[in-house]
Structure formats: structure tokens, C-alpha cells
Amino acid sequence: GNSVTQMEGPVTLSEEAFLTINCTYTATGYPSLFWYVQYPGEGLQLLLKATKADDKGSNKGFEATYRKETTSFHLEKGSVQVSDSAVYFCALSDHGSSNTGKLIFGQGTTLQVKP
Amino acid sequence: SAVISQKPSRDICQRGTSLTIQCQVDSQVTMMFWYRQQPGQSLTLIATANQGSEATYESGFVIDKFPISRPNLTFSTLTVSNMSPEDSSIYLCSVGYRGLNTEAFFGQGTRLTVV
């Protein structure tokens, strides 16, 4: 079945460091891919998405490119801030559900940014 | 997008009791889902809430333990029945729209502690 695998955390970086959080997926067909962010004590917010191969999603300085050849959707940011400290979830849409918003999530990666 | 209100935001409950969580959306949505996020874990789909009919449960979740209602296109409830400490989790309501490449929107979640 479909699945998502993320790099284990926590990831601890200094402010202004470069961030990469790896995400790979297994899926049949052509799923859409998402990164969600969960700030402490809050629900999930969509950070960015990509709907087809070679698409690049971007938001708030974060980027991720849909790589079908490597089945990956790695999240990157050139210069992190303390306010980026959160848990990041990679997810794919389960197209077996006729594109309804039903998602399969990776295990989440905790990012801690220190001043 | 959709604005989702979940109530209560948190609760502490005695084992053996039940808690009903409400999810209200500000617009009519096609799909509503309930997820569970156990401490330090990723999100696991409990069920899809179907309007006017029984919910569709994922493997490992049953109606007797997690009864779900969805009387209309903007409202759903999840009940956690006969609670034990293992039910301590964050429960999240999510909504989606049927169509191509749609993302899911999430409520703030209900943080449940069972003592």
C-alpha cells in the first residue's frame, strides 16, 4: 500500500542554517504530495504542496520538489529562524479515495532552531 | 480553504467514561475525516465521516469504540467510548473537497488525557 517515510528527528540547527528534511514515498499512480507543519500546541497547517512530477511547492522560504524518479519530496529552507521550530509532516494523497483529501502521513520530524 | 472549529480543545477524563468531540466547518465540504495523533507519533486515520450514513472505519478502529455522526455537510462528532489511558491522544478533524489534487484542512485538535 501507499506509505511515506521521513527522516528521523529531532533536527537541531542554529539560526540561519540550511535545512533539509528528507521524505520518500511509495505509491501507485500519481499522488499529490504535501508538507504540513504543526507548531507547539496547535493543529496542522498546510505548508506547501506539489501535484505532479517536477512541480516545486514553495511557501515562507520553504521549498520541495516532486521527484518521481527518486520518489522523493525533500523539504528545504536556506536560512531557518527560531520561529520555524515545529514538527513537519510529509504526506501524500490517497488517490484510491478519488482525491478526497484523505492523506497518508509520514512519522513527522521535529525541528528545533536555536538562536 | 475552510475554517474548522473543534470543541473541546482539551479535556481530562476519568477512565471508563466517554467524550464527544465536535467539529464544525464554516462551509459545506465533501469529506470529513477523524485522525488520532498519539504522543510523539504521526497521524493515523480513524474513519471517514459520511453524511447520513455510517462512517467508514480504518483497520484497527471500530464503531463501538469510536462512534461517529455526520448529520449534515458542515458538522461531525467523534465519541471516544469507555476510555482508558491508552486513548490519551490528540484527535483531529479534517475536511476535504472531492476533486483533483486537493489538500486537507485541519482543526486545532482536541488534546485528550485519560486518568
Per-residue pLDDT reduced to its tens digit, A44-90: 999 999 988 999 999 999 999 999 999 999 999 999 999 999 999 99
Q: Which residue of B has its CA nearest to A39?
A: B108
Phi, psi of B27 (to 5 degrees): -150, 165
Q: Which chain B residue lies closest to A40 (C-alpha atoms)?
A: B108
pLDDT value of position B81? 98
Give dist(CA A46, CA B86) in Å, integer: 28
Cα(B52)–Cα(B69) distance, rounded to whole angstroms?
Answer: 8
Instruction: Tell me the percentage of chain B whose pLDDT exceeds 70.
Output: 96
CA distance A61 to chain B (A): 20
Work out the pLDDT band at B2, boundaries 50, 70, 90: confident
Cα B23 to chain centroid, rounded? 7
Cα A66 to Cα A89: distance, rounded to the nearest angstrom: 15
CA–CA min distance B88, chain A (Å):
15
What pLDDT, in 10s, does the model give residues B33-48? 999 999 888 899 999 9
